[in-house]
Amino acid sequence: MSSALHNLSDYDFNQVPQANQMRFGIVVSEWNPAITGALLEGAVNTLKRHGAQEENIIVKTVPGSFELTFGSHCLIESGQVDAVIALGCVIRGDTPHFDYVCMGATQGIAQLNATSQVPVIFGLITTNNLAQAEERAGGKLGNKGDECAVTAIKMVDFFWSLKK
């Protein structure tokens, strides 16, 4: 569903499992810091609202969105997390760089999801302009960070339910 039709921060709190025993890694891009900082704040606050302990939330930064895959992989390999949330923002420019970065990050995160037992949540905002990014980072369309945190909790719960 398009975020233009659905507020990213709207969800039924009671449909999200408790996260008090879960461990999360968040990899956040330093590029477009006003946007990625807002995404990070949304994700951390939502995890805590659902019981995640501060000491069970590891936040690491990477230079740009292309590096989200490597950062996520490193967190998985550390064995310290049950899910990884990858947060970044790429805004279209005048060159095809946007396409390469978006495709590389998308394929990399998809590959991690297909090959590891730790879910990696895709929190990469890809927009045509800064205003669209702001709308998705706490603006009128909500905060993609909130949505990613809820998804991470639900995916950990999903994986754990298969182990029972």
DSSP3 helix / strand / coil % (the chain, rounded to 5): 50, 20, 30
Cα 149 from chain centre: 7
| Contact predicate 8/141, CB 8 Å | yes
| Contact predicate 86/109, CB 8 Å | yes
Active site residue 97: yes
- Report how far apart, in Å, the C-alpha atoms of 111 and of each of 41, 70, 140, 154 are: 26, 11, 32, 20
Catalytically active residues, by annotation: 97
